[in-house]
Chains A and B, each alone.
Chain A
Amino acid sequence: MRVRLWLFIGLTFALRVPFLANGPSGWDDVDFALGLRSYDLLQMQPHFPGYPIYMLAAFGMQALVDNPFLALSLLSALAAALVVWPLMRVVERISGPQVASWTALLWAVAPLSLVAGAQPLSDSFGTLFATGLAWAALVASDPLRTARSRALALLASGVLLGLLLGVRVSYLPFALLPMVAAWQFRRLGGLWSDLCSAVAAAVLTSLLWAYVLMLNVGSWFGLWQLGLAFTGGHFSDWGGAYTAGSVWERLLQWLGRQWGAAGIGTPWTEQQGLASYAVLLLVALAGIGFVKKWRGFSSFVVVWLVPYFLWALFAQNVEKPRHLLPLLPLLLWALVVGLTSWPRASRVLVPALAAAMLVVGLGQVAGQGKQPAATAQLADHLAARADAAELLVFTYEEERVIRYLHPEVRTLRLRQFADLRTELLNRPTLPQVVLTDSVLNGLDHQGVRAFVEETARFRGSPWLDPVYHDITLYEVPPAKRAAFERFLKRESGGDGVSGVSDYVSGSS
């Protein structure tokens, strides 16, 4: 078992190293890179809640690697490799060593694990702690273990929960794991004093990083206010069309694209290779097999899966598949259980699934580290233009990358037509107006569309950057400038004093 463990850790790491991202691609990775340069919560470097434990590890990695994006990506690869350890332990205990090895093999090659394991974001690192927490919770509630190791595991789960929250607060739903484990622990005759120690350990570990955050902001009250301001904007400061779509459309997109295509490599509009159909076929076989065998799955898995599953569906951004990463091991495990229910054939089926997944995964991650992301291409394009100094670029989240790479380009991030109009009328002469498609499509008043023309388009990979991978640039051509100015000065739709307070307070 030990040899296999190291084999899969090595394989997982080796598969990610050639594809490590080395440049900016979106808001969050720039946040982390800026945080490495100067950790500052108020400046959103990184944004609230500050990811203190993750950033601490990232500081350590940066001591070895100079490029902040490369350092963060390397940390992700290392974390993804280490996930194998708790994962194999958990699966081995419930489904046996053969299933454990195969689950580890799938983790090494699954597209989402491969992509997230080579990106400068905190998900891979968080998944390591979430999986570790699951292992500790399993041991703490395991009747076959000695009372002593149960007590120690419960204590470890307390510390791990504290650390996990210091990596990503959004992984809070996994807190149900140690809670149910504690209940089971008591039923097996565990001592109250041990349970209290574990709770104290969780609280103290959380306090440790919360205190450091407080020091960075300056006071507990300041940290609290920052949290309120951030969550206020986080959940409501949105004026565009992105919230459109019914619950069912959302569910379909989430299951089909994020879990299926991005997660394990099933076919999707942009993913039509033979390998992805092979994945689909094998997943169908696994599904049939799983229906026969699912009773072998313990209630432990339900506690692990369900809270975060619901959280990811309803409270996380469904456009980003990386939010599913901490649950991906469970899906892979279920696939292996399903395939092994086919007697004899499973020896062929699981390696076949791994091979197909690897082909799809390599296809998804191939360009990373070699071609700049669409946002970075956009930034370079704007800075290289002859009229760069005259531009005023309206963007949404692309702004963070533009400002990181080329701070001299003037950008404004907004969502509402009233804001755009105010910004333009506030200038003595109309600048050369450039808009990205995310601003134009999100504006609550589409009158602007009549005055703009498409001038450039930048493409990246939808798998590496699920939101800003296809950016179209629009601008007001010289022939329409005068008319656009008249439009801004006369048009009164989508505006009015009644909306003023919304704008001023920054949320609506």
Chain B
Amino acid sequence: MKVRKGLLAWMLVLLVVLAMRPEGAFAYSYGNPNEEVVAENYKLFAGKLNLDPPDFQAATDVYKQVQVEIDQHMGPEPSKSILGALAAKDKATALDAYRKTLVLNIARRLESIEKDFKNYEINKLLLAKALATYEALAPQVQEQAIDQKLRTSFETALSALGNPGLFGVGVKEADPALFKVQKDEILNSLKTQFQLESLDVGHFQPGEAAKETAPSQEKNQGGTSELRNWLPLIGIAVVLGAIVFFATRRRRRG
């Protein structure tokens, strides 16, 4: 009886504390880990310039929030031409320069996937970010057929990265050749669509992307396709089995 009283009192306290939370309750929704900051920034940027009349000051303020990141990864040229066009009140050039920067950003993501194809975890994130960047550019792709084809290529590229499955179910092997085909298709198509001469990002060093997304350089091939990944799993199962076994045995004897 003592237990129940103590417990009830404790729970009443909890109830009161929770009820007094100002919001009353948690809101409820799902977050998306795959958002790309620069792409979101571009959408906002384009929104400011597409106002009537265009709000160049606001667009500049928006851009400044990602300038450091863009300078770091793409070099100073993109910022120079974007901010230059904004200063000259040239909306079309500013938008065009930002879009080209986004295409280069996609190229950078896809190239670094290919350079370090074994790094499953980082690559999935990079591909998701590349797709999120394309989503921002997609409204400019006038022909629906090209848009659909690009999306299919992204999807195929994702499946080409492989899937570690769950408990060994649904394992898909990675396919570097298939990925390369999709990558080339995406980049060639974007190059034509956004009239870029080259997708060479001279300032990009391989491995940089990995540093930015994960602090550890430790590579994990991921998935239960590799034998060494099974070992800890088997280890846990064996210890668990041993505990159960000895618990049953000891009693029977006693």
- Chain A residues packing against B (C-beta within 8 Å): 27, 38-40, 42-44, 47, 50, 52, 55-56, 59, 147-148, 151-152, 155, 159, 180, 194, 197, 200-201, 204-205, 207-208, 211-212, 215-219, 221-222, 225-226, 229-238, 242-243, 245-247, 250, 299, 302-303, 306-307, 310, 314-318, 389, 397, 408, 421-423, 425-428, 486, 489-490, 497, 500-501, 503-504, 506-507
For residue B24, CB closer than 8 A to chain A, the reply is yes
Which residue of the partner chain, among A38, A39, A56, A222, contacts B214 with CB atoms under 8 Å?
A222
B18 cross-chain contacts in A, Cβ below 8 A: 310, 314
1/0 per residue, CB under 8 A from A, across B50-65: the answer is: 1110000010011001
**Do A211 and B30 have beta carbons less than 8 Å apart?**
no
For residue B202, CB closer than 8 A to chain A, the reply is no
Within 8 A of A (CB), among B145-161: 148, 158-159
A247 cross-chain contacts in B, Cβ below 8 A: 19, 24-25
How far, in angstroms, from A211 to B158 measured CA to CA in the complex? Answer: 23
**Do A500 and B44 have beta carbons less than 8 Å apart?**
yes
How far, in angstroms, from A150 to B30 measured CA to CA in the complex? Answer: 42
What's the least CB distance linking A71 to chain B, in Å? 13
**Do A315 and B26 have beta carbons less than 8 Å apart?**
yes
Interface size of B as a range: 35 or more
How far, in angstroms, from A485 to B150 measured CA to CA in the complex? Answer: 29
A236/B216 contact (C-beta < 8 A), A201-B244, A247-B19 known? no
How far, in angstroms, from A306 to B15 measured CA to CA in the complex? Answer: 10
A421 cross-chain contacts in B, Cβ below 8 A: 47
**Do A389 and B31 have beta carbons less than 8 Å apart?**
no
**Do B7 and A299 have beta carbons less than 8 Å apart?**
yes
What's the least CB distance linking A181 to chain B, in Å? 12
Q: What total count of A-B pairs have CB within 8 Å?
A: 218
Main DSSP-derived SS at the A contact region = helix
Which residue of the partner chain, among A47, A59, A151, A218, contacts B169 with CB atoms under 8 Å?
A59
**Do B229 and A215 have beta carbons less than 8 Å apart?**
yes
What's the least CB distance linking B148 to chain A, in Å? 7
21 interchain pairs (CB within 8 A)? A38-B170, A39-B165, A42-B128, A52-B166, A155-B247, A180-B3, A200-B243, A208-B237, A215-B229, A217-B222, A230-B30, A233-B30, A234-B31, A246-B24, A299-B7, A302-B7, A303-B7, A310-B15, A426-B139, A500-B61, A503-B40
**Do A152 and B248 have beta carbons less than 8 Å apart?**
yes
Within 8 A of A (CB), among B204-238: 214-216, 218, 220, 222-224, 229, 232-233, 236-237
